[in-house]
Amino acid sequence: MKILHLDSSPFTEGSVSRELSATIVAELCARHHDAVVTYRDLGTTPPPHLSAAAMSMLHNSQEEVMTPALVAELDGIYQSIEELTACDVLVIGAPMYNHSIPSNLKAWLDQVCQKGLTFRYTPQGVVGLIPGKTVYIASTRGGVYSTPEGKLHDFQEPYLASILELMGVADCHVIRAEGVSRQAIGREKGLAEGRETLLQILNA
Ligand SMILES: Cc1cc2nc3c(=O)[nH]c(=O)nc-3n(C[C@H](O)[C@H](O)[C@H](O)COP(=O)(O)O)c2cc1C
């Protein structure tokens, strides 16, 4: 089983999403002894934002002057897509930033979500080209958004589920630690709830 493990928090010390995503990967490895993990730290080494030249090459097949910078950018994009395509399981450490996801993670999604490579348009609608993967989202947030009112402001989990579905991911699980900045809930309780959800899913 090939696992692609992504983290997107820029914090390397005390990061809740890193701890939760590492817990998920450790549980998966304990249950699948053949697991091979590829790790990408988007928090400390964010992918570049897509340049106009790269988008022209990818979307319109336009001839661009292949500068060293463009070659490096396209190599990075194809490497990210290759890692995603190759994995059976994707684990994403995804903190909520301003009701959505960190831009580091968005930049990676912009790299991999490519028409003709990971999804395509058909007369019947969009078809995902990377089906059959299981995704675990290690979702962390300072506040609580799982309430009916909170859900109205949650553009983190629904966005991730939606964009992954576009590429063909049907089996997507949210492992959530929320309220981690709140005194009444806090980091440990939030993480404990996340671990409980994870074990329920893996033991089902
Ligand atoms: C720039 C920034 C924006 C944030 N925006 C929100 C937010 O909109 N809602 C929320 O509940 N928490 C927000 N938080 C809190 C984080 O979601 C929370 O602390 C999360 O656990 C951070 O994950 P990490 O510890 O892995 O970095 C924000 C934190 C940062 C640094």
CATH architecture of 2-203: 3-Layer(aba) Sandwich (3.40)
In the three-class reduction of DSSP (H, G, I as helix; E, B as strand; rest coil), residue 73 is classed as helix
Ligand-binding annotation for 80, yes or no, is: no
Give residue ranges with CB within 6 A of ligand 1.
9, 11, 15-18, 95-99, 140-143, 180-181
Ligand-binding annotation for 16, yes or no, is: yes
Q: How many residues does the chain have?
A: 204
pLDDT tens, position by position, 61-105: 667 788 999 999 999 999 999 999 999 999 999 999 999 999 999
Strands 89-95, 36-41: pairing kind: unpaired
In the chain, what are the domain boundaries?
A: 2-203
Are 47 and 111 contacting, i.e. CB atoms less than 8 angstroms apart?
A: yes
pLDDT tens, position by position, 102-159: 999 999 999 999 999 999 999 999 999 999 999 999 999 999 999 999 999 999 999 9
